[in-house]
A and B are shown apart, each in its own frame.
Chain A
């Protein structure tokens, strides 16, 4: 298939300076509008001419969508991060670093410094999948067609899903998403009917619900902010991202956990992985299984096994099962307790 690169199809560019104006434009253009945040996902689509929106609404001029602010006057209140806040700003913000270091760790391993300077938190959680069949413009399920080219005996599916696949086996590529789920963040969405606040884990959807989207945003909706409550402020955090090239790559898989312990016992925990399914998964079964248990190798081993329960590998991604087990184990076990790694042989 001939793909014309570097020359975008013509579109009408709008640069609103307020959320209200942006919403009006989105309502006016409906499904023909494309929301542009940092542009790092968008320009791939536009330059490859795979997506050809008639109108592009650039949010970069809306100041109210930028910045990190406390959500109350008390030190115990959480923070609200504007959707257009860059990943670099998130990484360097003192409150984020001090209280919500999990998000700072996750944001710091997104792509390269240049990309983090331009890429936004809202864009990072709302970006589309990296499945190359889909991104090459092939008429797969996600593109509205009737086939998944990756889920075939010959399909190149090394990076694809091992859990919750439903016709489409693409995965969500966000690094910040599992950290936000572990921190129990809330996503603030402006819809035509008003403001809607959803839990981070409910912002993402799999192909069983809608095979053409990775999140719940409908045409006309706008993600305006992400609120992190103080529930997990200062907890023990763990984030790890596995990728092919450590300098700059999307995750093969990542894990994020927030934990509160009494002595060696796990009192509270939230844990999430991404790169295993079309949506970042909160591992509720793992959380329930390890609650009240010591942070030792046995608990980690058990948690790893629970995490991959139901996993179905494709032709080339069976390695993701031991990878996920190991990541979950490492997220739970104290480093000094040692982790016996699960192994995989091709």
Chain B
């Protein structure tokens, strides 16, 4: 049983034609195993979360009750992308597991919506949002190391609070970019093989081998997205992550959650009295007592 399906082209060349469809189930099972592993780790093994330093009362006092996190445009993008992604996954894979329906038209229309929304997102994030906020920085890497060492029971200073996005968010975003762009770019080319309103059909745009690799990459990205989206939904539903999920609906998160999780120096929230200089935290002590107040809230290093 191979991971790819091969065929012999009219010229006698052995070419890949698509992924083996059992990989759909591999992705689904991998997603469920991740849920199990992560939930088990959090429930039985994870240590209480600790952060370095504490936020001074003066800084805390300047944080509004509702901390704006996602603009309306960003939220609309997210949900349009989510809807189109679901349509894409269901139309792609349901027929492969025995649910037969006319899927191709819905699939390329959803793909077009996704492509348009991604283009919007790239422009919006590049010119109207803090472009670098979603990319890992040196502090993220340092803190990831600290968290791993501490999780192993060895001494290491506690990590800083997060910037706007935790490292896990940033890594997930990177994985979605890789899988999503792979699916979109190959999908745009594949649209030249079906009848759409966009291109004249040209199935001979590439050689059989190149087409085969394109279908394989599209399929791998697709099954990868199954697992990634399962993981995304899992985190969106976890109790300790719900404030983040709610912020994607309402646009804001609570002051308490912000102060627990985020570093006002790394994610500067515009307030009426401090629009120019970032707020300061008190001594960046690594003392566990610095964030004692967070213990008992179910927040852990693994979140």
Residue of A nearest to B208 (CB): A147
- In the complex, A143→B10 CA distance in Å? 13
A1/B12 in contact, CB under 8 A: yes
B203/A139 in contact, CB under 8 A: no
A209/B7 in contact, CB under 8 A: no
Whether A146 sits at the interface, judged by CB under 8 Å, is yes
Whether A202 sits at the interface, judged by CB under 8 Å, is no
Residues of B contacting A210 in the complex (Cβ-Cβ under 8 angstroms): 95, 100
Contact pattern, A 131-170, Cβ under 8 Å of B = 1, otherwise 0: 0000001110001111111011000000000000111000
A146/B102 in contact, CB under 8 A: no
- In the complex, A243→B18 CA distance in Å? 37
Whether A208 sits at the interface, judged by CB under 8 Å, is yes
Residues of A contacting B95 in the complex (Cβ-Cβ under 8 angstroms): 210
- In the complex, A166→B215 CA distance in Å? 18
- For chain B residues 155-193, which have a beta carbon within 8 Å of chain A? 193
B5/A144 in contact, CB under 8 A: yes
- For chain B residues 1-26, which have a beta carbon within 8 Å of chain A? 5, 7-10, 12, 15, 17-18
Whether B201 sits at the interface, judged by CB under 8 Å, is yes
Interface Cβ pair total, 8 Å cutoff: 52
A146/B212 in contact, CB under 8 A: yes
- In the complex, A148→B192 CA distance in Å? 12
Residue of A nearest to B194 (CB): A167
B104 touches which one: A1, A149, A167 (CB < 8 A)? A167
Residues of B contacting A137 in the complex (Cβ-Cβ under 8 angstroms): 8
B102 touches which one: A139, A149, A151, A166 (CB < 8 A)? A166
Residue of B nearest to A151 (CB): B201
Residues of B contacting A312 in the complex (Cβ-Cβ under 8 angstroms): 195
Residues of A contacting B252 in the complex (Cβ-Cβ under 8 angstroms): none
Residue of A nearest to B11 (CB): A1
Whether B44 sits at the interface, judged by CB under 8 Å, is no
Residues of A contacting B7 in the complex (Cβ-Cβ under 8 angstroms): 139, 143-145
A148/B100 in contact, CB under 8 A: no
- For chain A residues 173-219, which have a beta carbon within 8 Å of chain B? 205, 208-210
Residues of A contacting B258 in the complex (Cβ-Cβ under 8 angstroms): none
Known: A209-B102, A210-B100. A149 touches B10 (CB 8 A): yes
B10 touches which one: A138, A144, A165 (CB < 8 A)? A138
Residues of A contacting B193 in the complex (Cβ-Cβ under 8 angstroms): 146-147, 167
Residues of B contacting A166 in the complex (Cβ-Cβ under 8 angstroms): 102, 104, 194-195
Contact pattern, B 193-232, Cβ under 8 Å of A = 1, otherwise 0: 1110000010110001001100100000000000000000
B8/A139 in contact, CB under 8 A: yes
Residue of B nearest to A164 (CB): B102
B104/A208 in contact, CB under 8 A: yes
A209 touches which one: B101, B195, B203 (CB < 8 A)? B101
- In the complex, A167→B201 CA distance in Å? 10
Residues of B contacting A139 in the complex (Cβ-Cβ under 8 angstroms): 7-9, 15, 17
Q: Nearest Cβ in chain B — how far from A161, in angstroms?
A: 12
Most buried by A among B8, B10, B194: B10
- In the complex, A151→B192 CA distance in Å? 12
Residues of B contacting A165 in the complex (Cβ-Cβ under 8 angstroms): 195
A1/B10 in contact, CB under 8 A: yes
- In the complex, A167→B193 CA distance in Å? 7
- In the complex, A4→B9 CA distance in Å? 17
B17/A152 in contact, CB under 8 A: no
Most buried by B among A147, A205, A210: A147
Residue of B nearest to A138 (CB): B10
- In the complex, A145→B16 CA distance in Å? 9
A151 touches which one: B10, B15, B203 (CB < 8 A)? B203
- For chain B residues 45-59, which have a beta carbon within 8 Å of chain A? none
Contact pattern, B 11-43, Cβ under 8 Å of A = 1, otherwise 0: 010010110000000000000000000000000
Residues of B contacting A145 in the complex (Cβ-Cβ under 8 angstroms): 7, 17
Residues of B contacting A148 in the complex (Cβ-Cβ under 8 angstroms): 203
A152/B5 in contact, CB under 8 A: no
Residue of B nearest to A155 (CB): B203
- In the complex, A138→B101 CA distance in Å? 25
Contact pattern, A 116-140, Cβ under 8 Å of B = 1, otherwise 0: 0000000000000000000001110
Q: Nearest Cβ in chain A — how far from B2, in angstroms?
A: 14
B204/A152 in contact, CB under 8 A: yes
Residue of A nearest to B214 (CB): A146
Residues of B contacting A167 in the complex (Cβ-Cβ under 8 angstroms): 104, 193-194
Residues of A contacting B104 in the complex (Cβ-Cβ under 8 angstroms): 166-167, 208
Q: Nearest Cβ in chain B — how far from A162, in angstroms?
A: 13
Residues of A contacting B204 in the complex (Cβ-Cβ under 8 angstroms): 152
- In the complex, A154→B80 CA distance in Å? 40
Q: Nearest Cβ in chain B — how far from A334, in angstroms?
A: 38
A146/B215 in contact, CB under 8 A: yes
- In the complex, A149→B95 CA distance in Å? 23
- In the complex, A152→B205 CA distance in Å? 11
- In the complex, A176→B3 CA distance in Å? 42
Q: Nearest Cβ in chain A — how far from B67, in angstroms?
A: 49
B203 touches which one: A1, A152, A205 (CB < 8 A)? A152
Contact pattern, A 48-73, Cβ under 8 Å of B = 1, otherwise 0: 00000000000000000000000000
Residue of B nearest to A213 (CB): B100
- For chain A residues 270-302, which have a beta carbon within 8 Å of chain B? none
- In the complex, A151→B10 CA distance in Å? 15
- For chain A residues 213-237, which have a beta carbon within 8 Å of chain B? none
Q: Nearest Cβ in chain A — how far from B254, in angstroms?
A: 49
Residue of B nearest to A216 (CB): B100
- In the complex, A122→B197 CA distance in Å? 40
Known: A167-B194, A208-B104. A146 touches B18 (CB 8 A): yes
Interface residues of B (CB under 8 A from A): 5, 7-10, 12, 15, 17-18, 95, 100-104, 193-195, 201, 203-204, 208, 211-212, 215
- Sample of 11 A–B contacts (CB below 8 Å): A139-B15, A143-B7, A144-B5, A144-B17, A146-B211, A148-B203, A152-B201, A166-B102, A166-B194, A209-B101, A210-B100
